[in-house]
Amino acid sequence: MVSNLAQERRTLTSEVWKYLLENEIKVQLATFLSKKDGFKKAIDALNVKLTQASADKSKKQSEIRGLEKNTTSIQPTIDGINSLLKSFGFRSFSLAKSEKPSHYKIVRADGTIAKETLSEGEKTFITFLYFYHLLKGSETETGMTTDRVVVFDDPVSSLDSDVLFIVSNLIKGLFDEVRNGVGHIKQAFVLTHNVYFHKEVTFNKRRGNVALKDETFWIVRKPDQQSTIQKHTSNPIKTSYDLLWAEVRNPDRSNLSIQNTLRRILENYFKILGNITHDDLCSKFEGKEKLICNSLSSWVHDGSHYAYDDFFIADGSIVDTYLAVFRKIFEKSGHIEHYKMMMGSAFVEIVAATPATVDNLPKTK
């Protein structure tokens, strides 16, 4: 044993492990193997269920795509747009299926293609109607149920008043759907330069002096080649006349457009409503003030009816001078209260200086 010590140690180690395996941990090992076998069977059963569930999922997705193909058919859009065109009296053209699958074509009453002969207003209107129906559907089979945010960017360009009224009412209908949680439109933005369209699309008899909880009003301005966004707690635009005064009230007014703004105010208030001409207004002034009034009349007409030379820009000091004369016209004509009302919080009371006397001269040492 001593001469073969290394081999005897390996034999002893082997016998110790055999003893532990067969006598000390045999029960524990059998329990482990039993549990292992149970877990393996459970895993195999779950894998079978996962395979079956994956197959069922693929089958359902295939069924959904089949249903979406029917839902995204172009025929409902064709029928919807043609129905709108007919109800609004547009008989000169309509939509039809194109020879190319999933495409449209615009045809005249005799069947000829109308694409090249549509007016700008007709193109804008038919494009809006397509977009309007697209909001409730999708261009793809997988986008039917996606939530969406909608932006209408000046949708009434080149439209006459009748079509403008139709477009505004269709958009207001979408507003109601958003408010009521109907459909997949979650938010809508409307941008426009058209005051009449703004008035139509924002009309809501439930709104008081402040905006409703689910709406906001903003005005975008571009003074000095930079865009600024100003939020309003109420509808900032009531009429086009009030919009003109809003430009006068704005401290960041555009010096290039203020000329036309002043002319339109003076013509609307004095000439159109009151039948008072610029000459009548200037006759109320004397001396230098009369010259300034005549200059204002000439200046606003020049800025309104002539193109600007590349080298001419009205600077702030000139604008301030004529704005002061603009105010005095209302004072001299007895209409300062109207000026105060339209200027609102931007109105500044001018206190006349008291002539100096011996009693009120500042004391000196």
**Of all residues in the chain, what percent carry a pLDDT higher than 70?**
81
Three-state DSSP state, 110: coil
Total domains in the chain come to 3
Which of 165, 163, 164, 186 is CA-nearest to residue 174? 186
Looking at the structure, do residues 152 and 230 belong to the same domain, yes or no?
no
Looking at the structure, do residues 342 and 248 belong to the same domain, yes or no?
yes
Looking at the structure, do residues 179 and 258 belong to the same domain, yes or no?
no
Looking at the structure, do residues 257 and 320 belong to the same domain, yes or no?
yes
Residue 320 lies in a domain: yes
pLDDT bracket for residue 351 (50, 70, 90) = low
pLDDT bracket for residue 237 (50, 70, 90) = confident
Residue 341 lies in a domain: yes
Alpha helices (H) along 191-312 = 195-202, 240-249, 258-266, 278-282, 287-305
- Separation CA 348–CA 343 (nearest Å): 9
More confident residue, 136 or 220: 220
Contacts of 303 (CB under 8 A, 6+ apart): 258, 259, 260, 263, 314
Contacts of 271 (CB under 8 A, 6+ apart): 277, 278
More confident residue, 80 or 224: 80
Residue 170 lies in a domain: yes
Looking at the structure, do residues 214 and 191 belong to the same domain, yes or no?
no
Residue 291 lies in a domain: yes
Q: Quick one: average pLDDT of 230-239?
A: 81
- Separation CA 137–CA 145 (nearest Å): 8
Looking at the structure, do residues 199 and 218 belong to the same domain, yes or no?
no
- Separation CA 191–CA 157 (nearest Å): 12
- Separation CA 330–CA 335 (nearest Å): 5
Looking at the structure, do residues 304 and 259 belong to the same domain, yes or no?
yes
Q: State the pTM of this model.
A: 0.49
pLDDT at 312 over 50: no
Write the DSSP string, 148-197: EEEEEESTTTT--HHHHHHHHHHHHHHHHHHHHT-SSEEEEEEE-S-HHH
Q: Quick: pLDDT tens for 11-23.
A: 999 999 888 888 7
Question: What pLDDT score was predicted for residue 357?
Answer: 42
Contact 144, 97 (CB under 8 A): no
Residue 56 lies in a domain: no
Domain range for residue 194? 142-203
More confident residue, 35 or 283: 35
Instruction: Look at strands 217-221 and 228-232 and give their pairing.
Output: antiparallel
Which of 203, 228, 256 terminates a domain? The answer is: 203
Tell me the torsion sign for CA atoms 52, 58, 64, 67: negative
More confident residue, 175 or 264: 175
Looking at the structure, do residues 223 and 252 belong to the same domain, yes or no?
no
Question: What pLDDT score was predicted for residue 24?
Answer: 76
- Separation CA 219–CA 231 (nearest Å): 7
Return the residue matching tokens 């109607």: 129
pLDDT bracket for residue 244 (50, 70, 90) = confident
Residue 91 lies in a domain: no
Looking at the structure, do residues 299 and 210 belong to the same domain, yes or no?
no
Looking at the structure, do residues 181 and 270 belong to the same domain, yes or no?
no
More confident residue, 188 or 265: 188
Looking at the structure, do residues 321 and 291 belong to the same domain, yes or no?
yes
Ranges 86-90, 105-109, 263-267, most confident: 105-109
- Separation CA 345–CA 8 (nearest Å): 109
Looking at the structure, do residues 338 and 249 belong to the same domain, yes or no?
yes
Question: What pLDDT score was predicted for residue 9?
Answer: 92
Residue 130 lies in a domain: no
Three-state DSSP state, 113: strand
Question: What pLDDT score was predicted for residue 310?
Answer: 36
Residue 123 lies in a domain: no
Instruction: Look at strands 185-191 and 148-153 and give their pairing.
Output: parallel
Backbone angles phi, psi at 247, to 5 degrees: -70, -35
How far out from the chain centre does Cα 346 lie?
29
Mean residue pLDDT of the chain comes to: 79
Q: Quick one: average pLDDT of 240-259?
A: 78
How far out from the chain centre does Cα 365 lie?
66
